Amino acid sequence: MKVDYGVRALVELARRHGEGPVQTAEIASKQGIPEAYLDQLLTTLHKSGFIRSRRGPQGGHVLARDPMEIDLDSVMATLEGTNPPLDCFTEPNECQLSSNCAQMEVWRAVEEAVHAVLSTTSVGDLANRQYTGASAADRAQ
């Protein structure tokens, strides 16, 4: 849920990019995110440099950089950490089969493919898809 809600919040801020601060309650309402949970996520996103936040009646949140420069791989790593699909990726000596493991190669390829997609997909891409209805293939034509 962290990544889902965090990305939803960033997409909402991308949609409003350049319009000034957006309050937490408005992001929560527009994206269907519980406000208390959103507060925690926004704090993490702020500390990680994805957003800037300002308190007070005229306060709110804005993206700290262009939405096309915020890739999903970075957002996911910030909100979820990096969790390899197999423990042997980080601790190869702990598995007696790691030197000759048939599945390790497959899972490594899966992980690389996921990272490739996430690192080339930006929050701006998602905002464009969500609010214009255009897929990446449509925009390429």
Give a yes or no: residue 120 inside a domain. yes
- The predicted-structure confidence for 46-63, as pLDDT tens digits, reads as follows 999 999 999 888 889 999
Give a yes or no: residue 59 inside a domain. yes
Q: How far is CA 79 from the centre of its chain?
A: 7
Give a yes or no: residue 16 inside a domain. yes
Q: Give the pLDDT score at 105.
A: 81
- Angle between the N-to-C axes of helices 24-31 and 35-47, in degrees from 0 to 180, rounded to the nearest 10: 120
Query: What is the extent of the structural domain holding 69?
Result: 2-135
Give a yes or no: residue 140 inside a domain. no
Residue type, position 55, single letter: R
Number of domains in the chain: 1
- pLDDT > 60? residue 114: yes
Residue 51 burial (10 A CB sphere; 0-12, 13-18, 19+): buried
The structure tokens listed for 9 are 């919040």
What are residue 85's phi and psi, to 5 degrees? -65, -25
Give a yes or no: residue 82 inside a domain. yes
CATH number of the domain at 15, please. Answer: 1.10.10.10
- pLDDT > 80? residue 140: no
128 versus 84: the higher-pLDDT residue is 128
Give a yes or no: residue 141 inside a domain. no
- The predicted-structure confidence for 27-47, as pLDDT tens digits, reads as follows 999 999 999 999 999 999 999
